[in-house]
Structure 1
């Protein structure tokens, strides 16, 4: 369905079809809804290769290259994992159980409750050995409150929420489908999904994947430009808007464009006449806690930081933009040397996202003397950026630009300074990464735990990239709560959340500091090799394809092939 075609239904017709679909949605039992998810999963498995081929064409990647692994893992794999988690939640509710039955709950700092969502199955323990993810409640949350709220809209499926508009993202291709499912199942809203123009070529694939929902009038997928999007936002039949994009786009929707819109925002006069939720990215930090590392640790963690920056060429809402080091770390220069090497040697790729090269050039102009251009200017490393009101700290580049800054101190002193810098100087609150040797974490003890709790971010990852939180279907994804329409920062509300939890604050992810087999030397034996989402993983495409097949139909017979491929990477 293409909104710009002369034969396409009008916006009025689309909304009317969805209103009729809402009536159908209200009559569907939990088992019928689960059947729809099963059909979607089967369709996605059939069309997964087509999905990846279209994604590679959009991003001008060779489908046979290792970089295609990013499209397998952040595309069909992520969506299949989300569908599986939602289906399990519906099964629990349909059987009269609570979705949290079987999930460990424990106290978290600051009067919070933590739900361990990873690992959950024996397959999690094998395929993601050494990784954990916990969803934290808001302060003052209780175990009983979490148990009662879990399920959200599916606890009362007959109480539908009207017609929602989802304005899709233009970078990671599973975002728009996952947002659509969250609207349907968390809020009981039928969905008009408008694709970002960059991803318009995905329309045929997504139409096949969502065919069971489209046939019942539960979903409509359209393309179109800014004018169509504005008309959809303003349509009287649309009761809610969800956007994944930039804070500038959000503010135009809420307050209007240009000087007049900015004046309204300053006065707090909201132009939008309906609720809006959002995921808006931001300036994400990676904080390196000083410790004593081996030469191989330095090289591996440099690859880790470069992955956090260069995955999808930096066009990620949680791409690391500011690397925070300690001036007093004895190995700071050694780590920077390893970082330069990894940044330079990473596989080159086209700058497919509009304006990327211009933003890289601007970063160089804004930082005379500290900017190092790599790969003919398509990547920029900004070294020794002084702490202050630098544009690298306040504006999301959404491009392959990484800034390095330093703070004084070690131990607890450094942690306090790093938390204050990340919370108070950097724009946005979507994700923060922390890298620390397990020996250092043990030595810091309660100070390290407090440091993690002090970081005001929707996802905090320790020795892992926050992208793992995105891929964990039962984790929450979104900004730290508390933002307003006037100052949306990284957005308002959450998505993913396959357990359909209420009253949550953040997700905390943890991973192995070293890959297998060197992990045994840290005192925390894990079996995970170099992760397949690393930009240096040589067999990422094969591993991603095998993981996608497993996510669609888990089974023991598929495990050896995944391990063999991952270890070769």
Structure 2
């Protein structure tokens, strides 16, 4: 990675941090499972204590208006998933401590292609109540048996004394839980002590992260560094660093691994990385949302349009798994009405600042690439002239901003689904996540063909009637690209994170949700209790519900449920 050189003071700080970690590796190796569980419990308490400051810092750098419902996003994607992950990891380590497997108590199932699945949501009574109607399974590769899953669950915690050196985590700048979750995974799944280099966008969270990770910092197992690309470059090439994990774009990945410019392109083509150590990554891509044709009510059209607007505009569109292309059937009788609702949902969603660097330029590029691209206000772009024969950059380049394209493919539900799966697999850049939306009547008609289509999609998370972001928020689910990518064709990355059950070699996570929200679901014979989810950008009580959910994750209790339900129903 070409960058200016860090200052002498910065070099001294980095060297000192790495030397601390070299010594800290021995302290981490000496920690038995009981001590490691205790560290997780202490971080859980620290996260709860500093959750308010965490959200304030995130709101400040994202410039969200005071009192905005959008602040709920910062509760739900900041302290909340860290609290749930810390709790789930502590349970996994505790199981190993007692001679059990982390998957004991979780149900197993079968998935197409001879796959074993582990049902990770719902698991507890709290899941059944708070996420009623949602489910998630982790699918293992074909041929892996239940016994193998059980025996290998635990990863490096099966051999805690066998540590793996000093790792670098290059923190993300968009979702504030990512840096902490990545640090936890490096330590507990991979047995590496960690130098966390913050993205400069998140420097305002340094104090909060230092408090949350204080038990690991005091042990010598974590150090946090700030600075620009010069600091990052010096750190990843440090001779005492044995591994790098990053979150970002494939372009940033290639710059780090191969270098920039013509020389970097030459190294990539030759397969000779500039960075001579293993690299894992969670990268973005062009995430599709496949809308299957069916007989929808006007309320269905409106609700699912808001659903897709959320998939695009959550966090301003600055999500690795933000939907970028909506795939619809050109033969769907309700297509035009649906697209009208979609345009309205995108236009009417609350405005927010374009806080992420380079956003305006990426939006301008999208507008310039398609003659029919429409600026629908608040810096948002809708592209409806994507041609299947010549789709242009919308399928090949991640915009990482508020740009949504529409691709029309022909056919009834079955024919359309087959072509949409093929297109998603062969023509879309990246493999992080794909969403499918289908009416229950369409699901019934398709039968096993829909399960086979889910199995055929080569994506790390597949969501049916839910956003793949639900997989991100589920601590025991896996998060990352579909397996099999290489450094010179990295797509959406290599490896997984989260995975609090510490499963060995998972293939994907499959999430399912309700097509109809409560209470309207009752009119359609469904018993789901979930109203409009609090992560919807149109949810009016998201800030209150998000805060209450984080508070509940800090201390689950029956007495907290009435307030959560009341707030959620008003959303």
Q: 1:433 aligns with which of 423, 432, 435?
A: 435
Structure 1, unmatched stretches of 5+, are none
1:99 alignment partner in structure 2: 102
Give the CA RMSD over aligned residues.
Answer: 1.2
Matches within 5 A, 1:87-486: 87-368=90-371, 370-376=372-378, 378-387=379-388, 388-486=390-488
User: C-alpha separation between the residues in 1 aligned to 2:166 and 2:54?
Assistant: 27
Aligned length: 565
User: C-alpha separation between the residues in 1 aligned to 2:281 and 2:426?
Assistant: 21
CA-CA distance at 1:11 after TM superposition: 1.6
2:68 aligned with 1:68, yes or no?
A: no
Change in 2 beyond 3 A, CA 1:335/1:213: same
CA-CA distance at 1:522 after TM superposition: 3.5
The answer to whether the 8 A contact 2:370-2:385 is kept is no
2:29 aligned with 1:32, yes or no?
A: no
CA-CA distance at 1:9 after TM superposition: 5.2
Change in 2 beyond 3 A, CA 1:6/1:274: closer
The answer to whether the 8 A contact 2:314-2:536 is kept is yes
For the residue of structure 2 that corresponds to 1:504, the secondary structure is coil
Matches within 5 A, 1:464-543: 464-543=466-545
Structure 2, unmatched stretches of 5+, are 1-5
User: C-alpha separation between the residues in 2 aligned to 1:511 and 1:66?
Assistant: 23
For the residue of structure 2 that corresponds to 1:535, the secondary structure is coil
User: C-alpha separation between the residues in 2 aligned to 1:516 and 1:59?
Assistant: 31
CA-CA distance at 1:10 after TM superposition: 2.2
User: C-alpha separation between the residues in 2 aligned to 1:250 and 1:362?
Assistant: 22
The answer to whether the 8 A contact 1:52-1:63 is kept is no
For the residue of structure 1 that corresponds to 2:436, the secondary structure is strand
CA-CA distance at 1:31 after TM superposition: 1.1
CA-CA distance at 1:7 after TM superposition: 8.7
For the residue of structure 1 that corresponds to 2:181, the secondary structure is helix
The answer to whether the 8 A contact 1:429-1:458 is kept is yes
Please identify runs of 4+ aligned residues in structure 1 that moved more than 2 A. Answer: 3-10, 520-524
CA-CA distance at 1:216 after TM superposition: 0.8
CA-CA distance at 1:232 after TM superposition: 0.6
2:69 aligned with 1:77, yes or no?
A: no
The answer to whether the 8 A contact 2:373-2:385 is kept is no
525-534 or 4-13: bigger deviation: 4-13
The answer to whether the 8 A contact 2:196-2:222 is kept is yes
For the residue of structure 2 that corresponds to 1:399, the secondary structure is coil
CA-CA distance at 1:520 after TM superposition: 2.2
Q: TM-score, normalised by structure 1?
A: 0.98
CA-CA distance at 1:503 after TM superposition: 2.0
Change in 2 beyond 3 A, CA 1:216/1:332: same
User: C-alpha separation between the residues in 2 aligned to 1:565 and 1:6?
Assistant: 50
The answer to whether the 8 A contact 1:141-1:503 is kept is no
Q: 1:104-162 deviations in whole A, cap 9, x for unaligned? A: 10111111101000000000000000000000001111101110110001111111111
Q: TM-score, normalised by structure 2?
A: 0.98
User: C-alpha separation between the residues in 1 aligned to 2:45 and 2:515?
Assistant: 36
